[in-house]
Amino acid sequence: MMERFDPFKGERLQVLDEGGRVQTGLDPGLPDEVLRKMYEAMLATRVADAKAFKLQRQGRMGTYPPSLGHEACQVGVASALAADDWIFPYFRDLGVYITLGYPLSDYFHYWMGNEAGLRTPEGLNIYPLAIPVASQILHAVGAGLAANYRKLQIAVAATFGDGATSEGDFHEAMNFAGVFRTPNVFICYNNQFAISVPRSRQTASATIAGKASAYGFRGIQVDGNDVLAVWTAVKEAAEAARRGGGPTLIEAYTYRMGDHTTSDDASRYRAGEEVREWESKDPIRRLQAYLKTKGLWDEGFERGLQEKAAALVEKAVEAAEARPAATVDDVFAFTYAAMPPNLREEMADLKAFLKGGSR
Amino acid sequence: MIMTMVQAVNQALAQEMERDDRYILLGEDVGRDGGVFRVTEGLVDKFGPERIIDTPLAESAAVGAAIGMTALGLRPIVEIQFMGFIYPAFNQIISHAARLRNRTRGRFPVPLTIRTPYGAGIRALEHHSESTEALFCQIPGLTVVVPSDPADAKGLLIASLRSEDPVIFLEPTRLYRAEKQEVPEALFEVPLGKARIIREGKDVTVIAWGAMIPVARKAAEAARAEGIEAEIVDLRTLSPMDGETIVGSVTKTGRAVVLHEAPKTCGLGAEIAALIGERALLRLKAPVLRVTGPDITVPLPKSEDYYYPGPERLVRAVRELMEY
């Protein structure tokens, strides 16, 4: 597929058009169960995301970066990875977490303001989401180097936004990956904005996918609102990576439907008309239409999933809010493997102060 | 065997990498060239290019990739060619290496050692004389280590490599080949977080580390000629700091001077003086003094001597304390 869609010719992989009609010869032929699972994960992502937004407005969650509109990107990426693969996500990746089975209550717990929620359960190969932009791409490259050294047949994915491609770490990561032929799959969610600054201000390149060429590896642009296109490209890139075929850069062309975070107001810098135009490309509705034509979707199925998602989210919120608050020990204990004397003293002092005692 | 610090560091790396194949060494020119100071000489022949990795010229990437390696259980060692070139990697060191253990509540620790030569006094180019250790000591989660002789360099480096936390290991460029010393052949650790008293004295405590230790020794000899007995504390680990040894010594002598080549303002001397003030104020017979580089950029070689604190300046401070 990589060879068939050349970013320098303005070609973009799209499996489902905006009406959910499959393009001739591009249907990956996924089993019904897999398609239904993808749809379910996308739906759950949207429901959980909307809930997180509400919780923030109610003062029950901290600043939160909404994933609205990114469901196809996130679920497409995560669905295409194998259990042994690794992913180095960024802060707007709720669907990745949901698809890979990360406890949603932990995810909420983190955004509610407790690091404990970022402790990946054993057996899940998710590195903690990175907030400093583009910095996580280098970690993925290092993990790729480690995979090569240990002769592991795995792919290592990293996700990031279009703004990340302006950072030095993006360049350094691509360059290392090309030189060392690391088994990486880089997925840029080109959502057209880095907070307020549009994609045109991030790079003068015609596409982001095209940048791969300068680093000596494959790049492909895909429709980021088409989960099957994202899945197809990531699947192929991950397989190539596992076979020793080196890295791939995938540009998933999409749109950030929400604000950058709950502290942002996107109406300050972009037109409502543009947003409405992208509403018609909605990734969930698109997959839904496809499922419908395959006879895999009806009102009852939808209702069932909506109820399931709502229950999942309610349970997660309840569990997250029921978790005990971090203790003084928690915030000191993980700075070093063994607590040094200065931290022990500071911790004892803080505890004494909180108890109303004196030194 | 009698060896230089360069040889001692090389031996520590070779022996420890031999013992444990989770160690990977990466940096610029560390392979065929053996590093610009030849610290990694011969390692690529022993361990191959998969473990001794010549990277593209990018410090942030070397450190960032090393962090990613720890996710898969490796124990990377990064060589940054000079301390003056470590700044592009600040984001990776501060925002990730130092805090990943905490932000994942222990799930993803970062057992990473970053080695870099530091310090002035070798008539080097611009940006090759930096001694900005205090910048790292401000960051929770980092361990900052500075050896002052070949045997300590070996033992401290082995302890750093075995640490489960990220360590900034600063090698005093000026001492790389300045003196030779008997270094035990076997693998051994000098524990992190512990200072040592390398010279006992009853009158004044000199607190120093790295390339300042020989300066402190010279000054102590000169002071003895004047009848003043100086005690020297070699800090070894700058952060987390061994406050107990410092305070113990000052409690005994009642006088303290901190010697460092970094600029004075917000240098480690300020931290040490505050610590002494908090813990031993009533034992002090005089204020804590600092003999340091001035608050200026390290000058180029022709005027480097204006900058670099030598034994005479330390002796003057010691005299001042005795006469207070």
DSSP per-residue string spanning A24-86: TTT-----HHHHHHHHHHHHHHHHHHHHHHHHHHTTSS-S----TT-HHHHHHHHHTS-TT-E
Give yes or no: residues B14 and B158 share one domain.
Answer: yes
At A358 the pLDDT is: 57
Give yes or no: residues A241 and A344 share one domain.
Answer: no
3 state DSSP class of A296: coil
Give yes or no: residues A286 and A200 share one domain.
Answer: yes
From the list A8, A150, A11, the residue with the least C-alpha distance to B22 is A150
CATH code of the domain containing B97: 3.40.50.970
Task: Share the mean pLDDT of chain A.
Answer: 97
B108 touches chain A (CB under 8 A): yes
Give yes or no: residues B216 and B173 share one domain.
Answer: no
Give yes or no: residues A214 and A337 share one domain.
Answer: no
CATH code of the domain containing A53: 3.40.50.970
Give yes or no: residues A355 and A319 share one domain.
Answer: no
Number of domains in chain B: 2
| Structural domain boundaries enclosing B92 | 2-182
Give yes or no: residues A214 and A138 share one domain.
Answer: yes
Residue B188 included in any domain: no
Give yes or no: residues A149 and A128 share one domain.
Answer: yes
Name the residues of B annotated as catalytic. 128
Task: Please indicate whether, in this complex, the C-beta atoms of A132 and B73 are within 8 angstroms of each other.
Answer: no
Give yes or no: residues A315 and A343 share one domain.
Answer: no
Residue B203 included in any domain: yes
End-to-end CA distance of chain A: 68
At A359 the pLDDT is: 53
pTM of the full structure: 0.97
Task: Please indicate whether, in this complex, the C-beta atoms of B68 and A143 are within 8 angstroms of each other.
Answer: yes
Residue B167 included in any domain: yes
ipTM of the prediction: 0.97
Residue where a domain stops, chosen among B182, B204, B220: B182
Which of A87, A91, A149 to mutate against chain B (most B CBs within 10 Å)?
Answer: A149
Closest Cβ opposite residue A140 in set B68, B73, B96: B68
Counting beta carbons within 10 angstroms of the beta carbon of residue A308, is it exposed (0 to 12), middle (13 to 18) or buried (19 or more)?
A: middle
Q: How far apart are CA B291 and CA B223, in angstroms?
A: 15
Give yes or no: residues A269 and A355 share one domain.
Answer: no
Q: How far apart are CA B194 and CA B236, in angstroms?
A: 7
Task: Please indicate whether, in this complex, the C-beta atoms of B74 and A118 are within 8 angstroms of each other.
Answer: no
Give yes or no: residues B206 and B160 share one domain.
Answer: no
Task: Calculate how close chain A gets to B311, using CA atoms only, in Å.
Answer: 31
At A29 the pLDDT is: 95
Pair A127, B69: CB distance under 8 Å? no
Q: How far apart are CA B4 and CA B8, in angstroms?
A: 6
pLDDT over 90 at A351, yes or no: yes
Give yes or no: residues B10 and B121 share one domain.
Answer: yes
Shortest CA distance from A132: residue in chain B = B95
Give yes or no: residues B173 and B289 share one domain.
Answer: no
Give yes or no: residues B121 and B18 share one domain.
Answer: yes
Q: Do strands A197-198 and A218-223 pair parallel, antiparallel, or not at all (unpaired)? A: unpaired
Q: In B, which residues are within 8 Å of A120 by CB distance?
A: 104, 107-108
Eight-state DSSP code of residue B284 = -
Give yes or no: residues A72 and A102 share one domain.
Answer: yes
At A2 the pLDDT is: 83
Q: How confident is the model at residue A3 (pLDDT cuts 50, 70, 90)?
A: confident
Shortest CA distance from B244: residue in chain A = A341
Give yes or no: residues A227 and A264 share one domain.
Answer: yes
Residue where a domain stops, chosen among B147, B182, B217: B182
Task: Calculate how close chain B gets to A128, using CA atoms only, in Å.
Answer: 7
| Structural domain boundaries enclosing A298 | 2-324
Residue B189 included in any domain: no
Residue B249 included in any domain: yes
Residue B190 included in any domain: no
Task: Calculate how close chain B gets to A94, using CA atoms only, in Å.
Answer: 17
pLDDT over 90 at A1, yes or no: no
Condensed to tens digits (0 to 9), the pLDDT of residues A111-125 reads: 999 999 999 999 999
Task: Please indicate whether, in this complex, the C-beta atoms of B68 and A141 are within 8 angstroms of each other.
Answer: yes
Task: Calculate how close chain A gets to B239, using CA atoms only, in Å.
Answer: 9
Give yes or no: residues B38 and B155 share one domain.
Answer: yes
Is the omega angle on the peptide bond into residue B240 within 30 degrees of 0, that is, cis? Answer: yes
Residue A56 structure tokens: 């923030």
Name the residues of A annotated as catalytic. 256, 260, 269
Give yes or no: residues A37 and A182 share one domain.
Answer: yes
Give yes or no: residues A210 and A174 share one domain.
Answer: yes
Number of domains in chain A: 2
